[in-house]
Homo-oligomer: A and B are copies of this chain.
Amino acid sequence: MKNYIITIGRQYGSGGREVGIRLAQKLNAEFYDKELLTQAAQDSGISCKIFENFDEKKANSLMYSLSMGNYSFTGDTSKPLALRVYLAQFDSIKKIAKSENNAVIVGRCSDYILKDCKNLVSIFITADSNDRIETIAEREKLTPAQAKSVMTKMDKNRESYYNYHTEYKWGVADTYDLCINTSKSGIDGAVDLILNYINNL
């Protein structure tokens, strides 16, 4: 089997992270989701807590920047902190793609950042809203109404962040090589389909 950098965009609660974990296990590949934040924090010297605060959230308004104290952070203050966090993740994603033979990277505009990478396979994972609400409610101990609200907010965050930092559109079919709805395929079905897909590229 050839080596691939597989990026996974995902709707909140769709099981995209789980697909990525199982895929990485089957491919004996490194897996990066929240792990990316730690890596970027280590590489950039910015605290990990700050990466968590800014994770996949667009923060480009002056009011937001001021309220987050973006301009008062020590070190390189020539750029808003949100942008510095994005750039540190950008560098880490590039570094991973260069150093790893096989890797699975979840979210954080990784498909766009690696768009010129020849062995890139770009996946997007969806699921039906009702299934996602059930998953989120169970996982985060929420009522269905609360889960729906969190789901909508998280997807909005991811969409804004992605559309702000890239020329593509988040969640639109032609942004990706392959989009799979796990309500139909199941998590393992999605993993098997991706494996079949890359085996035949």
Contacts and interface: CB of A to CB of B under 8 A. Distances in A.
Nearest to A128: B174
A181 B174 contact: yes
A166 to B, nearest CB: 15
A200 B197 CA distance: 14
Interface of A: 11, 121, 124, 126-128, 171-174, 176-181, 184-185, 189, 192-193, 196-197, 200-201
Given A124-B173, A176-B181, A181-B177, A197 B193 contact: yes
Count copies of this chain in the complex. 2
20 contacts: A11-B174, A121-B184, A124-B179, A126-B174, A127-B174, A171-B172, A171-B173, A172-B173, A173-B176, A173-B179, A176-B181, A177-B185, A178-B178, A178-B179, A178-B180, A178-B181, A178-B184, A185-B201, A192-B200, A193-B196
A17 B174 CA distance: 17
A180 B181 CA distance: 12
Residues of A contacting B: mostly = mixed
A168 to B, nearest CB: 12
A185 B192 CA distance: 16
Contacts of A174: 11, 126-128, 171, 181
Given A128-B174, A178-B185, 20 more contacts: A11-B174, A121-B184, A124-B173, A127-B174, A171-B172, A173-B173, A173-B176, A174-B181, A178-B181, A178-B193, A184-B201, A185-B197, A185-B200, A185-B201, A189-B200, A189-B201, A192-B200, A193-B196, A193-B197, A196-B196
